[in-house]
Structure formats: C-alpha cells, structure tokens
C-alpha cells in the first residue's frame, strides 16, 4: 500500500486515546468470544476436516452430524464440549470408516455419541487435530498458490483496485459477466449473495442457478468462479481477485470454504449482522472471531461494512459512528491475527449532495479514515442514498466520488453505477461507470501530491471533530455496565436495539465446558500466530 504524506495533522495522543478506548471496548467481547462456541464454528471445524456434501433433501452433512451430536449430548452439556471429541471418539470406536459415512449413519439414528474421557479423550483429540490440520494445510497451500499466481501473472497495475459486482442469481450467468467485467477493467469481482442467505443456518450445496437478487455462496460456486477468473487472469496478465460474504449465521463455515477455495476478499463486519440482520450478538462475536482467524491464515482481505451505517443514518450526523466502527473492527481484526494489509475498512460517499460543502465534508471523512489507518487498504463505497434515478446527475456524483477516492488514496474502489436504484447494471452502465473511473484516475490520479488541506481549514477541522465525536461515543459505550453489549442492547448504534439474549441463532450458542476441545481453534491460535496477534492488538503503533 502506498502511504500518503500526513495531511490532517491529527494529534498522535488523540489517535492513541481512540485506539486505547476501542481496545477497552473490545477486550471484554473477545473474552466472551473465547468462552463460547457456536454450532456454526463446530460445523466449520467439520468442514475443515473434510466433511462436505448434503443429503437428498439438500441438508449439508455437517448440519446433520453436528445436530445429532448436540442432541445426543444434550443432557450432558450439548454443544458446550464441541463436536470434535464425540465425533472422533465415534470414529475411533469403529462406528464408521470416515466422516461422511459417520454423518449418514448418525442421521439414520444408528450411532450414539458420547463425551470420551481419559485416554479415549486424548486419542480423539489427537485424531481430530490430525484431520482438521489437513484443512488448515489446504488453506495454507491455497494462500501460497495465490502468492505464486500474483507473482507469475502480475498484480493489479495501480491503486485503487477497481471493484465490480455481479449478481445474476445463476452462477453460470455470473461467470461470463465476471470475466467480461475483468476484461473491462475490474481488478476485483464480488458475487453478491442471494437475499436472505445470511439468515440461513446452513450453507447450500452445489452449483446454483436460482437466487433472489444474487447468487448463493456455495463451495462449488466459489470453485467455479475462482477457476474462471484464474483463466481470465492469465488472459489479461493481472490476477483478478474474487470476493464473497462471510457474514450471517454461517460466517465461520463460509470463511473456511473461502480459504479452501482461494477467495481473496471477504465482507466481514464485527457488528453488521447484529444491527442489520438481528442475529444474536454473542453468536456474531464468536463466529466473527473464528472467521477472522481463518481469514488471517488464508491471507484474505476483509471488507468491513461501515457504509451500512450511512445508508440508514445521516452521513454527516453519523460520520463518527463510521470511525468508531472502524476502530472496533481494527481491534477485533488484529486480535484475530489479521495484519494491516488485510483490513479493508469500509466507508462511503453518502452525504446529501444538496448540502453546502458536501464534497469538502466527504474529503474530510475520507482523509480521516486514510490517516487513522495509514497501512490499511480502505474500501471506498459509492453513493446509493442520493441516487434518484436521474442517471445524468448520478454520473456526475459518481465522478466526484471517484475524485474523492483519488485525492484521499483509497485502496479499493467499488465502482458506482449511475443506474443505482433503477436497474441492475447493464453492460453499458458498467462501461460508462468504468470510463468515469478511468477519466478521473487519468486526469487527477496524482492530484493527491498537490492536495494539502489548510491546517486549520474546513477539512482538517471537520476531521478532528469527527475523531473527537467518535472518542465521545467510545466513552459512552464504556459508561455502560456491560460495555458494548449493553450499548448494542439499548440502541446506542442507531435505531436498532439488540439485546444479548435475543436475535437469530441464539440457540446455536453454548458456553464452553471444561472438556471443550476444538482442534481448529488450537491450530489457528498456535503460539506463533497468537504472539503476532497479541503484539498487534496491544500496540498497533509499534506493529507498523
């Protein structure tokens, strides 16, 4: 990442204070995440061990197996022990030769699971660790493969990376569209998921051709699209990155599948599912930590969802909620082992264009993010709220969005469409949008070298004020007895009140027992990884 010269003259002590507060807010949440597991984390572990596929009704075998294990151990703590010990105990007892057969037999009701003790437990632990390690090794191999391909084929020629979306609902339609978008200039392709997939408590299986306003995230769809883009990458001489969503009730499983199928970026926000999808807060924080550990290992860049705050609240009044969320996302990400270059922290160009000085305000907010997180590839999201159907005005607004991106050194630029809120982008819409980006980058791509906001001018003052307000918000969160959880519960973040004992997926959360064992967590938290994460989350300044 290029590191622009500092332009806002932010007080280093204030910046340190903001990070320290984010750490204080986040730390108890990490403690909570360590003390709990979820059904999705356990299923992700089974996927890493190689259990794939689904039964005739389309229910994945990981769901079948995890549900039976939980039910069998119900009287003795259920999910709280994790599934690894009972599952590998059954395999060692000779109930089945492999996980797939075990899952089939278990759903037919012919196996009774138990929690092994003593030597049986030790043997189950070792066997599960060995098998889950194959999945982790696959993720490692995929990461090396990406590094190799980027080196051999070549990387995106410039920053920001151009990020384009496809969303037909049919993977076989998505593929030629994605390849065409890459030929037209996209460096990153995101496949939008079907509406409502985040609330499914299973990952659909196989290649899918029917979705609602998007295409289901499945392992096979991941594989097909990645293979197609590899082909196009070779054709174009630059590695095209692929993005999907690790969010919703299956966040950890999708993260595991993404790692194993070499996806390159994943949407992954610390609070989005809680606030916007009413998913249980504890479920979200546990799932998020595990999924981020996988992303860290897989070399995946996460994209956080701060743009969503601005689509529901006023982009000027709520500017500090973006900064606050970025600070929290950074803390949680570093704690999980992600490095700066993997933090695609989000923000968006959503200020009402009728407001006087709206562009100066946008610049102030974008520069603040840039300077607070100098080594992160920020994700810059185009206007949506004030796109009215007047495509001519929309094209102008997108031009200013692109200019703000160029002036403030954004790392990932999601290309705005003038037909936003009118139709899903046409071929010509995408072409015009890319012409817009190219014109601005060509005409003004290096303007940031000459761009020096006056130290006490409008932009610098506004940026300092937003940072100050985000510190106040962090303080306000800390004033709650149970910190962030209480703040989420009482509606501190916008209009949504999300209590820790409510929301979807709560029944899939369990407190870990003293016997709990999860080989994936153990492998992902190996001393080396842990040390790096600890250092990064303790003192982010020193880690740079």
499 binds other proteins (CB under 8 A): no
Contact of 460 with 454, CB cutoff 8 Å: yes
Least Cα distance to 268 among 292, 294, 233, 241 occurs for 292
The residue within the footprint of other proteins, chosen from 28, 53, 196, 455 (CB under 8 A), is 196
From CA 299, how far away is CA 306, in angstroms rounded?
A: 22
From CA 210, how far away is CA 217, in angstroms rounded?
A: 12
511 binds other proteins (CB under 8 A): no
Buried b (16+ CB within 10 A) or exposed e, 407-418: bbbbbbbbbbbb
Closest approach of Cβ 249 to other proteins, in Å? 12
Report the largest interatomic distance among the alpha carbons of the chain, rounded to a whole angstrom.
Answer: 74
The residue within the footprint of other proteins, chosen from 57, 118, 119, 428 (CB under 8 A), is 428
Closest approach of Cβ 159 to other proteins, in Å? 25
92 binds other proteins (CB under 8 A): no
Candidates 10-18, 113-121, 132-140, 422-430; binding stretch for other proteins (CB under 8 A): 422-430
From CA 462, how far away is CA 315, in angstroms rounded?
A: 13
14 binds other proteins (CB under 8 A): no
Closest approach of Cβ 385 to other proteins, in Å? 8
493 binds other proteins (CB under 8 A): no
Q: Active-site positions?
A: 272, 307, 379
Classify 109 as helix, strand or coil.
Answer: coil
183 binds other proteins (CB under 8 A): yes
Site string for other proteins, 359-398 (x = CB under 8 A): -------------------------x--------------
On the 0-12 / 13-18 / 19+ scale of CB atoms within 10 A, 57 is exposed
The residue ranges of DSSP E strands in 35-103, in sequence order, are 36-38
Residue closer to other proteins (CB basis): 107 or 312: 312
Count of residues interacting with other proteins (CB under 8 A): 26
**Residue 114: CB atoms within 10 Å:** 15
The residue within the footprint of other proteins, chosen from 59, 312, 461, 513 (CB under 8 A), is 312
Footprint on residues 143-182 left by other proteins (CB under 8 A): 180
Distances (CA, A) of 168 to 188, 195, 426, 455: 17, 12, 11, 47
Closest approach of Cβ 276 to other proteins, in Å? 5
Closest approach of Cβ 154 to other proteins, in Å? 21
What tokens were used for 38? 């979820």
Contact of 272 with 306, CB cutoff 8 Å: no
Closest approach of Cβ 141 to other proteins, in Å? 35
H or E element, residue 16: helix 12-35
The residue within the footprint of other proteins, chosen from 173, 278, 357, 525 (CB under 8 A), is 278
Residues lying near other proteins in the complex (CB under 8 A) are found at 180, 183-184, 194-196, 199, 212, 275-278, 308, 311-312, 384, 420-421, 426-428, 431-432, 495-496, 504
């Amino acid at each position: 990442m290029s590191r622009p010269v500092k332009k806002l003259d932010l007080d280093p002590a204030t910046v340190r204070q903001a990070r320290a507060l984010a750490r204080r807010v986040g730390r108890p949440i990490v403690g909570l995440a360590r003390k709990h597991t979820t059904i999705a984390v356990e299923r992700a572990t089974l996927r890493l061990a190689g259990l794939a596929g689904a039964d005739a009704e389309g229910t994945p075998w990981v769901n079948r197996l995890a549900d039976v294990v939980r039910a069998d151990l119900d009287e003795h703590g259920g999910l709280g022990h994790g599934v690894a010990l009972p599952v590998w105990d059954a395999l060692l007892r000779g109930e089945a030769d492999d996980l797939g057969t075990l899952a089939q037999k278990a759903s037919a009701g012919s196996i009774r699971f138990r929690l092994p003790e003593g030597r049986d437990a030790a043997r189950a632990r070792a066997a599960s660790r060995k098998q889950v390690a194959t999945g982790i090794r696959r993720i490692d191999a995929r990461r090396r493969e990406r590094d190799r391909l980027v080196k051999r084929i070549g990387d995106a020629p410039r920053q920001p990376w151009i990020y384009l979306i496809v969303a037909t609902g049919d993977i076989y339609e998505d593929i030629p569209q994605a390849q065409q978008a890459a030929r037209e200039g996209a460096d990153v392709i995101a496949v939008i998921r079907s509406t409502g997939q985040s609330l499914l408590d299973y990952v659909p299986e196989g290649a899918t051709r029917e979705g609602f306003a998007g295409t289901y995230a499945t392992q096979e769809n991941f594989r097909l699209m990645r293979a197609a883009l590899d082909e196009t990458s070779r054709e174009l001489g630059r590695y095209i990155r692929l993005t999907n969503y690790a969010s919703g009730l299956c966040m950890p499983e999708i993260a595991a599948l993404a790692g194993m199928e070499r996806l390159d970026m994943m949407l992954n926000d610390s609070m989005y599912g809680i606030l916007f999808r009413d998913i249980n807060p504890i479920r979200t924080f546990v799932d998020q930590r595990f999924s981020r550990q996988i992303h860290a290992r897989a070399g995946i860049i996460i994209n956080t969802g701060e743009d969503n705050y601005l689509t529901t609240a006023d982009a000027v009044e709520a500017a500090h909620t973006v900064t606050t969320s970025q600070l929290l996302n950074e803390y949680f990400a570093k704690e999980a082992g992600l490095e700066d270059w993997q933090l695609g922290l989000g923000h968006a160009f959503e200020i009402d264009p009728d407001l006087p000085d709206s562009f100066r305000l946008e610049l102030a907010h974008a520069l603040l993010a840039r300077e607070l997180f100098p080594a992160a590839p920020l994700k810059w999201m185009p206007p949506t709220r004030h796109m009215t159907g007047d495509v001519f005005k929309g094209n102008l607004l997108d031009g200013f969005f692109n200019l703000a991106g160029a002036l403030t050194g954004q790392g990932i630029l999601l290309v705005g469409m003038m037909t936003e809120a009118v139709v899903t982008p046409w071929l010509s819409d995408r072409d015009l949008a890319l012409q817009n980006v190219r014109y601005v980058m060509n005409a003004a791509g290096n303007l940031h070298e000459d761009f020096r906001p006056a130290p006490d001018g409008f932009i610098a003052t506004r940026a300092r004020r937003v940072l100050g307000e985000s510190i106040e918000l962090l303080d306000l969160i800390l004033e709650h007895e149970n910190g962030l959880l209480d703040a989420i519960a009482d509606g501190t973040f916008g209009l949504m009140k999300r209590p820790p004992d409510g929301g979807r997926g709560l029944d899939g959360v369990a407190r870990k027992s003293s016997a709990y064992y999860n080989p994936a967590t153990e492998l992902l938290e190996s001393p080396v990884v842990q040390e790096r994460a600890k250092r990064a989350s303790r003192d982010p300044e020193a880690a740079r």
